[in-house]
């Protein structure tokens, strides 16, 4: 891997994304987005539907291109970053290939990079161990529960040892109990790997529990309205969920969201960041 | 029941559908242009192969006798059907195709009625479903058309009251027979489509089975019914033509095909006109069913563009 | 184990019972009402003819079955190749899709007399060709659908892994199309038998099922004609069951709930 000069995982400067520009159905999905994510930082993007949080993630991931502005991923353009496989992705749907076993799903990105068979298998087993699914390596995806499938997807996203993880509501389809377990799992994986993570979610407690900073976004036009730091430190566990600092941070994010979601009159303050 | 998969599921269709009638018409127009381009390509290929046949040996006969020029085929439409006759070949083909169309439509209607009835019975009575469905499915996989010559043999000897069974009825019977199977399977799947929640909702209203069928099962079966209707209509047309061919019933396009094929030495292009007639018949029915599709699905959400 | 067997039995006995009742009623009707064989031969008479000359039945079904198999083979190959082209080139897709949709209700079998003229009517070739053309369309439509209808999220995943179109085809599109391929095959295999049989009604060699059903009926050998019909039904069923068995064997994941 190339050594990057910048120690920023993501750096967005004046990024705009406009769909159907100049037409009647023009939509500004992202308006002048500025954001810096440190290496090793965990950032959540939160906001109501249509606030552009997924679009921002997709611009970072080079699944779509910014209309204006500059986006850097570990010092590279998103396109270069994708070609160098600097990031791993996980989606709301596990998107496992049902004709492959669990292990071969994890091997997929390695296969595309031309790893040889034995090394591939070792690496996949190592990752399945990490997500505690080694026993299910030879099962088919449809034999696994939703939470287990999502853990496989996360293992897959880590396979090529990416610099940065991009996660688009990966736990959105899971029940609350599974969801909390998965959050703990993700924190543990983060601690073990030290990855930079950008995490899109609808859930305020989830964003707070996981992140170093929560990026609050607002729709029409999609933009960043607030960035709420979460002073919970690195040692987070089930007790953290009941700590006062946790509730304070949840309240802070909720108020940041409400300030803009509630519409005109609710609050005068619109703190551009 | 996974082996009932021969019927198309109402999976998102390949064609991109966008909301708005105008958009749909526009897409249809573009498709039509592409189809015409495809036909043009076939014509060019035909003439090219024919021309190449003069220089390179082909695995088949490219003479004017077996592969007439496209313009010869067009010209043949205007020729008298038999010497001295006022009717042109085209007239004969059109009237034969219309007659086949009538038989196909008749068979289709009977087939749909019987198919729906059977589906309702199978949905209501578990025993009927378990007992009949394997046969309904198996019948899709076996060449029932093999019965055609025999059914005509039977048909010529039956009288039901004052009505003498004619070979026409036999053809319609075969068409109905082929049309009914795909429909009954599709309709059964559709009738079983409502979610348990919807059924429980009807139950909470103390709705009778009849009401549930009318208010819930029929409407929710439409996405399953439409593809089944398409398959059935196609089966009715193909069944009609094949029945006419295999029974030799006069008047329809199937018989005309065989007759014209025999006149290949005197009027080689004639049989092509009959083939075009059969193709036109199929296209017409496909268009009619599409119109029916548009009508039946007018209240359903349109699929998003892929 | 025993409860599983009982469970299976629950699905087996209703059709068996209905079949037996049906055959019994048929036999009874024919015997009691003294129905002439030209109207409806008794099941016993059909069975007598069928088992009376099994070798002939086999030979006849083998001829038509071979035609159907060759047509199925060539039509499937052509359909696969065209589907790959349609997936790769938009122009091909645009040309083919409306054509395939329009031809759905067209009795393609009507091409037989033309093919009989172009190729030697005394050979099997025209029949194989018309069968192949009939098989071609359902295969093309289904396989194209399977290649194109990939979950968008899976495509994005492939893109995030920097996969080239050819890799996407190999790793994602083709495996995704396999269940669609079998859906097409389950339609095409019985169609192939029907096409091979009906193509025989246009003249040519006389040793197939279609020819012999027609000639037996013409010679008032109705029991024999029905016996050939039974042979035709068995042939169709065998084609279908083979496809079904191959499907179960190669794609155990179909019919399962898709991964979320």
| Ramachandran angles phi, psi of A31, nearest 5° | -120, 115
CB contact under 8 A, A146 and C260: yes
DSSP-derived 3-state class of residue A89:
strand
Scan residues 130-159 of C and list those with Cβ closer than 8 Å to A.
151, 153-154, 156-157, 159
Q: Which two tokens stand for residue C20?
A: 């037996």
Q: Compare CB distances from C163 to A94, A112, A166 and report the shortest one's residue.
A: A112
Mean pLDDT, residues C45-68 taken together: 93
Q: What residues of B are in contact with residue C19 (Cβ under 8 Å)?
A: 135
DSSP-derived 3-state class of residue A116:
coil
Report yes or no: C79 and C135 within 8 Å, Cβ to Cβ: yes
Task: State the Cα torsion A242-A243-A248-A253 to the nearest 10°.
Answer: -50
Distance CA B172, CA B113 (A): 14
Q: Compare CB distances from C161 to A85, A91, A142 and report the shortest one's residue.
A: A85
Question: pLDDT by residue (tens digit) across B15-38?
Answer: 334 445 666 677 777 878 888 888
In this predicted structure, the answer to whether residue B85 has a pLDDT above a threshold of 80 is no
CA angle at residue A197 from A196 to A199, to 5 degrees?
165
Scan residues 252-291 of B and list those with Cβ closer than 8 Å to C.
253-254, 257-258, 260-261, 264, 268, 271-272, 274-275, 278-279, 281-283, 285-286, 289
Query: Quick one: pLDDT at residue A263?
Result: 40
- Number of neighbours of residue B214 by Cβ within 10 angstroms: 12
Identify the band that residue C258 occupies on the pLDDT scale cut at 50, 70 and 90.
Answer: very low
In this predicted structure, the answer to whether residue A47 has a pLDDT above a threshold of 80 is yes
CB contact under 8 A, B306 and C148: yes
Query: Quick one: pLDDT at residue A6?
Result: 56
Question: pLDDT by residue (tens digit) across C214-224?
Answer: 888 888 888 89
Whether C and B touch, i.e. at least 3 CB pairs below 8 A, reads as yes
Distance CA A244, CA A213 (A): 17
Please report the ipTM that was assigned to this predicted complex: 0.77
Closest residue, chain C, to B67 (C-alpha): C118
In this predicted structure, the answer to whether residue B160 has a pLDDT above a threshold of 80 is no
Nearest Cα neighbor of C178 from C204, C214, C139, C210 is: C139
Q: What residues of B are in contact with residue C98 (Cβ under 8 Å)?
A: 31-32, 34-35, 38
Q: Compare CB distances from C105 to B5, B246, B285 and report the shortest one's residue.
A: B285
Closest residue, chain B, to C146 (C-alpha): B14
Using the 8-state DSSP alphabet, how is residue B67 labeled? S
Which residues are bridge partners to A68 per DSSP?
Answer: A16
Based on its alpha-carbon atoms, the radius of gyration of chain B, rounded to whole angstroms, reads: 23
The alpha carbon of residue C151 is apart from the nearest alpha carbon of chain A, in Å, by 8
Distance CA C251, CA A6 (A): 48
CB contact under 8 A, C154 and A97: yes
In terms of phi and psi (left: phi > 0; alpha: psi -120 to 50; beta: otherwise), the region of C221 is beta
Query: Quick one: pLDDT at residue A37?
Result: 93
B178 touches chain C (CB under 8 A): no
Q: What residues of A are in contact with residue C253 (Cβ under 8 Å)?
A: 98-99, 140, 142
Nearest Cα neighbor of A69 from A17, A10, A29 is: A17
The alpha carbon of residue A89 is apart from the nearest alpha carbon of chain C, in Å, by 7
Mean pLDDT, residues C93-98 taken together: 82
User: Which residues lie below 8 Å from residue B117, measured CB to CB, with a gap of 6+?
Assistant: none
Question: pLDDT by residue (tens digit) across A15-40?
Answer: 999 988 888 888 889 999 999 999 99
C166 touches chain A (CB under 8 A): no
Q: Compare CB distances from B37 to C95, C119, C141 and report the shortest one's residue.
A: C95
Domains in chain C: boundaries? 1-35, 40-250
Q: Compare CB distances from A85 to C162, C178, C253 and report the shortest one's residue.
A: C162
Distance CA A141, CA B129 (A): 33
Contacts B–C by Cβ distance under 8 A: 195
CB contact under 8 A, C233 and B142: yes
Judge residue A176's burial from the number of C-beta atoms within 10 Å of its C-beta, 0-12 exposed, 13-18 middle, 19 or more buried. Answer: exposed
Question: pLDDT by residue (tens digit) across C76-89?
Answer: 999 999 999 999 99
Which residues are bridge partners to B163 per DSSP?
Answer: B160
| Backbone CA torsion sign across C40, C42, C43, C44 | negative
DSSP-derived 3-state class of residue B88:
strand
Query: Quick one: pLDDT at residue B255?
Result: 86
Query: Quick one: pLDDT at residue C74?
Result: 97
Query: Quick one: pLDDT at residue B156?
Result: 65
Question: pLDDT by residue (tens digit) across C102-140?
Answer: 777 788 888 888 888 888 888 899 999 999 999 999 999
CA angle at residue A107 from C256 to C152, to 5 degrees?
55
Q: If one looks up domain A1-86+164-177+194-273 in CATH, what number appears?
A: 3.40.50.300
> Tokens 């075969």 belong to which residue?
B174
Angle between helix B21-52 and helix B70-78 axes, rounded to 10 deg: 110
More confident residue, A203 or B142: A203
The alpha carbon of residue A269 is apart from the nearest alpha carbon of chain C, in Å, by 38
Q: Classify domain C40-250 at the CATH topology level.
A: MetI-like fold (1.10.3720)
Q: What residues of B are in contact with residue C183 (Cβ under 8 Å)?
A: 5-6
Query: Quick one: pLDDT at residue B30?
Result: 81
Question: How many CA atoms does the CB half-sphere of A251 hold within 13 Å?
Answer: 6
Closest residue, chain B, to C39 (C-alpha): B154
Q: What residues of A are in contact with residue C252 (Cβ under 8 Å)?
A: 140
Using the 8-state DSSP alphabet, how is residue A215 labeled? E
The alpha carbon of residue B261 is apart from the nearest alpha carbon of chain C, in Å, by 6
Report yes or no: B76 and B89 within 8 Å, Cβ to Cβ: yes
CB contact under 8 A, C161 and A108: yes
CB contact under 8 A, C171 and A146: no
Distance CA B247, CA C175 (A): 44
C256 touches chain A (CB under 8 A): yes
Query: Quick one: pLDDT at residue C20?
Result: 86
User: Which residues lie below 8 Å from residue A177, measured CB to CB, with a gap of 6+?
Assistant: none
Query: Quick one: pLDDT at residue C62?
Result: 96
Query: Quick one: pLDDT at residue B60?
Result: 82
| Backbone CA torsion sign across C96, C98, C99, C104 | positive
- Number of neighbours of residue A230 by Cβ within 10 angstroms: 23
Per cent of chain A over pLDDT 70 is 93
Q: Compare CB distances from B150 to C104, C187, C217 and report the shortest one's residue.
A: C217
b/e burial code for range B233-250 (CB count within 10 A of at least 16 → b): bbbbbbbbbbbbbbbbbe
Distance CA B8, CA C140 (A): 14
- Number of neighbours of residue B149 by Cβ within 10 angstroms: 23
Mean pLDDT, residues A237-256 taken together: 91
C177 touches chain A (CB under 8 A): no
More confident residue, C135 or B203: C135
Give the helix ranges, DSSP H, for chain C: 2-32, 43-52, 54-88, 90-102, 112-118, 125-148, 152-160, 165-168, 174-199, 209-218, 222-250
Distance CA A110, CA A129 (A): 17
CA angle at residue A54 from A140 to A93, to 5 degrees?
15
The alpha carbon of residue C228 is apart from the nearest alpha carbon of chain B, in Å, by 9
Query: Quick one: pLDDT at residue C3?
Result: 62
CB contact under 8 A, C178 and A149: no
DSSP-derived 3-state class of residue A15:
strand
Mean pLDDT, residues B174-193 taken together: 86
The alpha carbon of residue A159 is apart from the nearest alpha carbon of chain C, in Å, by 11
Angle between helix B126-141 and helix B89-124 axes, rounded to 10 deg: 150
Whether A and B touch, i.e. at least 3 CB pairs below 8 A, reads as no
User: Which residues lie below 8 Å from residue B73, measured CB to CB, with a gap of 6+?
Assistant: B269, B272, B273, B276
In this predicted structure, the answer to whether residue C161 has a pLDDT above a threshold of 50 is yes
Query: Quick one: pLDDT at residue A4?
Result: 46
HEC string of B143-190? CHHHHHHHHHHHHCCCEECCEECCHHHHHHHHHHHHHHHHHHHHHHHH
Mean pLDDT, residues B228-254 taken together: 85
């Amino acid at each position: 891997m190339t050594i990057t000069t910048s120690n920023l995982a993501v750096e967005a400067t004046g990024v705009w994304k406009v769909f159907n520009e100049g037409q009647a159905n023009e939509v500004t999905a992202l308006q002048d987005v500025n954001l810096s994510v440190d290496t090793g930082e965990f950032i959540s993007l939160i906001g109501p539907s249509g606030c552009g949080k997924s679009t921002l993630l997709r611009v970072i991931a080079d699944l779509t291109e910014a209309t204006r502005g500059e986006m850097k991923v570990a010092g590279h353009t998103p396109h270069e970053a994708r070609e160098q496989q600097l990031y791993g992705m996980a989606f709301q749907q596990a998107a496992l290939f049902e004709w492959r076993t669990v292990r071969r799903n994890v091997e997929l990105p390695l296969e595309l990079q031309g790893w040889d068979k034995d090394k591939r298998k070792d690496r996949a087993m190592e990752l399945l161990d990490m997500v505690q699914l080694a026993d299910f390596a030879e099962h088919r995806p449809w034999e696994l529960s939703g939470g287990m499938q999502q853990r496989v997807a996360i293992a897959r996203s880590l396979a090529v040892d990416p610099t940065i993880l991009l996660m688009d509501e990966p736990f959105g389809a899971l029940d609350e109990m599974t969801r909390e377990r998965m959050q703990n799992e993700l924190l543990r994986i983060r601690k073990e790997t030290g990855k930079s993570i950008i995490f899109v979610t609808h859930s305020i407690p989830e964003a707070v529990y996981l992140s170093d900073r929560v990026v609050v976004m607002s729709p029409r036009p999609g933009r960043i309205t607030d960035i709420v730091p979460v002073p919970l430190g690195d040692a987070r566990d089930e007790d953290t969920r009941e700590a006062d600092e946790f509730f304070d941070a949840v309240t802070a994010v909720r108020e940041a969201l409400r300030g803009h979601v509630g519409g005109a009159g609710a609050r005068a303050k619109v703190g551009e960041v | 029941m996974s082996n009932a998969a021969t019927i198309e599921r109402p999976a998102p269709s390949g064609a991109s559908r966008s909301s708005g009638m105008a958009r749909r018409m526009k897409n249809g127009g573009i498709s039509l242009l592409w189809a015409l381009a495809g036909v043009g390509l076939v014509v060019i290929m035909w003439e090219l192969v024919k021309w190449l046949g003069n220089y390179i040996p082909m695995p088949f006969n490219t003479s004017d006798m077996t592969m007439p020029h496209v313009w010869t085929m067009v010209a043949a439409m205007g020729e008298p059907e038999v010497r001295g006759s006022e009717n042109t070949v085209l007239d004969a083909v059109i009237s034969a195709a219309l007659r086949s169309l009538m038989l196909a439509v008749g068979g289709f209607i009977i087939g749909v009625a019987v198919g729906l009835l059977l589906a309702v019975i199978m949905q209501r009575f578990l025993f009927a479903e378990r007992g009949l469905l394997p046969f309904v499915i198996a019948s899709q996989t076996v060449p029932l058309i093999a019965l055609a010559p025999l059914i005509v043999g039977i048909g010529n000897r039956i009288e039901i009251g004052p009505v003498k069974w004619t070979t026409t009825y036999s053809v319609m019977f075969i068409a109905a027979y082929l049309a009914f199977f795909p429909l009954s399977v599709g309709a059964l799947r559709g009738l079983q489509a409502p979610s348990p929640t919807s059924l429980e909702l009807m139950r909470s209203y103390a709705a009778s089975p009849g009401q549930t069928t009318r208010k819930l099962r029929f409407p929710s079966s439409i996405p399953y019914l439409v593809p089944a209707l398409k398959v059935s209509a196609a089966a009715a047309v193909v069944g009609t033509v094949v029945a006419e061919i295999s029974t030799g019933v006069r008047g329809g396009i199937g018989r005309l095909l065989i007759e014209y094929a025999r006149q290949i030495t005197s009027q080689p292009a004639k049989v092509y006109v009959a083939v075009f007639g059969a193709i036109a018949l199929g296209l017409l029915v496909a268009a009619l069913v599409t119109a029916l599709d548009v009508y039946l699905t007018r209240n359903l959400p349109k699929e998003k563009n892929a | 184990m025993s409860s599983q067997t009982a469970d299976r039995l629950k699905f087996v006995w209703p059709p068996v019972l209905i079949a037996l009742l049906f055959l019994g009623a048929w036999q009874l009707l024919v015997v009691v009402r003294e129905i002439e064989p030209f109207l409806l031969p008794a099941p016993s008479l059909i069975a007598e003819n069928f088992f009376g000359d099994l070798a002939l039945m086999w030979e006849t079904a083998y001829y038509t079955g071979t035609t159907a198999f060759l047509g199925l083979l060539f039509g499937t190959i052509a359909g696969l190749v065209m589907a790959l082209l349609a997936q790769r080139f938009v122009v091909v897709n645009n040309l083919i899709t409306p054509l395939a949709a329009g031809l759905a209700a067209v009795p393609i079998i009507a091409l037989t007399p033309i093919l009989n003229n172009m190729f030697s009517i005394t050979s099997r070739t025209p029949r194989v060709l018309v069968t192949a053309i009939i098989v071609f369309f359902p295969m093309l439509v289904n396989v194209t659908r399977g290649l194109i209808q990939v979950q968008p999220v899976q495509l994005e995943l492939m893109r995030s892994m920097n996969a080239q179109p050819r890799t996407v085809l190999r790793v994602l599109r083709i495996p995704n199309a396999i269940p669609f391929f079998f859906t097409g095959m389950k339609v095409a295999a019985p169609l192939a038998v029907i096409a091979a049989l009906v193509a025989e009604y246009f003249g040519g060699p006389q040793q197939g099922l279609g020819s012999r059903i027609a000639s037996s009926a013409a010679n008032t050998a109705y029991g024999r004609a029905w016996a050939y019909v039974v042979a035709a039904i068995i042939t169709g069923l065998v084609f279908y069951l083979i496809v079904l068995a191959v499907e179960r064997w190669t794609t155990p994941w179909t019919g399962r709930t898709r991964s979320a």
